[in-house]
Amino acid sequence: MTSNRKLSTVLLVLVFCIGLIEGALYLGFVHANDCPSYCARADVNQDGFVNTADSFMVSKCIAAQCTVNDWTARMDVNQDGVIDHQDVEAIVTCIKMGCCKPE
Ligand SMILES: [Ca+2]
Ligand SMILES: [Ca+2]
């Protein structure tokens, strides 16, 4: 229970940081660069944008200790066979690098 709570706190902070990055992107403080190939898969919920909603979806999956299957395959953004914090970080990187349209 305690580790789940810690994990939730870490994920919340991460999602908050993504919000800040999105704000910076929107204001034009961050510019697009060479984008990692996994950014093409970062729109986890397939709504046309890569943003906190996508990282939140992966975070929820991590909290629920989900594994990669037909339903969750999209959440394995870096395609290393596991859904973990690295996938959330991959989404953050894509947002930070300006590889995705902010909402
Ligand atoms: Ca999305
Ligand atoms: Ca992964």
DSSP assignment string, 7-28? HHHHHHHHHHHHHHHHHHHHTT
- What's the total number of domains in the chain? 1
Would residue 101 count as lying in a domain?
no
Q: Are 92 and 14 in contact (CB under 8 A)?
A: yes
pTM given for the model: 0.67
Would residue 38 count as lying in a domain?
yes
Of the candidates 57, 66, 65, 64, the residue with the CA atom closest to the CA atom of residue 88: 57
From ligand 1's centre to the CA of 9, what distance in Å? Answer: 22
Tokens of 22: 């999105």
pLDDT of residue 103: 43
- Residue 54 CA to residue 12 CA, distance in Å, equals 13
From ligand 2's centre to the CA of 27, what distance in Å? Answer: 30
Would residue 103 count as lying in a domain?
no
- Ligand with an atom nearest the CA of residue 73: 2
Looking at every residue in the chain, the average pLDDT score rounds to 83
**pLDDT per residue as tens digits for the range 77-98:** 999 999 999 999 999 999 998 8
Which residues form the domain of 39?
A: 2-96
Residues of the chain with pLDDT under 70: 1, 10-18, 20-33, 100-103
